[in-house]
Amino acid sequence: MIVTVANQKGGVGKTTTVVNMAAALAELGRSVLVVDLDPQGNATTGLGVSSRTDNPGVYDVLIDDVPLAEAVVQVPENDEVRLVPASLDLAGAEIELVSMVAREYRLQKALRAYVDEHDVDLVLIDCPPSLGLLTLNALVAGDELLIPIQCEYYALEGLGQLIRTVDMVKEHLNPSLHIGAIVLTMTDSRTRLSEQVADEVRAFFGDLVLATEIPRSVRLSEAPGHGQSGVSYDQRSAGAQAYRAAAVEYTRRTIDLTEPSTASEQVAP
């Protein structure tokens, strides 16, 4: 299954969710491939891989048709997690893709070829905070969408545009795409605002919202500086435990352990 993790609003925990869900799913015995599609490359460095290298990365896959297998690297902390790293060149990919043939399908083509030939249970794509061609490639390549939503005042701002983009992709480019789950991030049980936002998101998206909420955690923030996921950096921290619980819940809801299953589809107003 290919899961696109997207939300065009920045700072909502997309990369943190990708890195820690990958680590937690690997602990459950799943083989995970992370694709870092964000030019900032935070998922790459957060998994202990340098973005400053001569080895091919996702830019080379998208622009130069380098086979994905040549860009995949092993993540130091876990043998079950592999990565297609971002590089500094990825910042120019949006412009270079504009004139390319079948520009929306380039990641899909590369991923399908890789998945057909390699043992991988789950692909997690970390998207940039925008709805440009990189994110569009991720939506076309994905089987389902995982949306992190920060429990702050403007949590739902801009989500309507994301839903409209998903509907457009479903209609014209990828009919099988659907929202698989919503994960609430950066919750703070000490504030009423956090609880109110969580209630509002649950009222809007219903059962698509994971019961597990990800709390604000200093340990999760510290982990990328050590090239580790929060799950391995401090296994007993509240953030690590929350991502483990979220991984278990997500697996039970949308990834049957024996065969892929489809989450029920919901169209937001």
Three-state DSSP state, 254? helix
In the prediction, which pLDDT does 107 show? 97
In the prediction, which pLDDT does 152 show? 85
Mean pLDDT of 239-256: 89
In the prediction, which pLDDT does 159 show? 84
The residue with greater pLDDT, 253 or 115, is: 115
In the prediction, which pLDDT does 52 show? 76
The model's pLDDT over 124-182, given as tens digits with 9 standing for 90+, comes to: 999 999 889 999 999 999 999 999 999 888 888 878 888 999 999 999 999 999 999 99
What is the second-level CATH architecture of the domain 2-254?
3-Layer(aba) Sandwich (3.40)
In the prediction, which pLDDT does 267 show? 34
In the prediction, which pLDDT does 256 show? 53
The model's pLDDT over 206-238, given as tens digits with 9 standing for 90+, comes to: 999 999 999 999 999 999 999 999 999 999 999
The model's pLDDT over 70-125, given as tens digits with 9 standing for 90+, comes to: 999 999 999 999 999 998 888 899 899 999 988 999 999 999 999 999 999 999 99
Percentage of the chain modeled with pLDDT above 90: 74
Place of tokens 């990641």: 107
pTM tops 0.75, yes or no: yes
b/e string for 99-115 if b means 16 or more Cβ within 10 A?
Answer: eeeeebbbbbbbbeebb
Cα 61 to Cα 63: distance, rounded to the nearest angstrom: 6
Pairing of the two strands 73-74 and 81-84: antiparallel
The model's pLDDT over 173-188, given as tens digits with 9 standing for 90+, comes to: 999 999 999 999 999 8
Domain limits, the chain: 2-254
In the prediction, which pLDDT does 88 show? 81
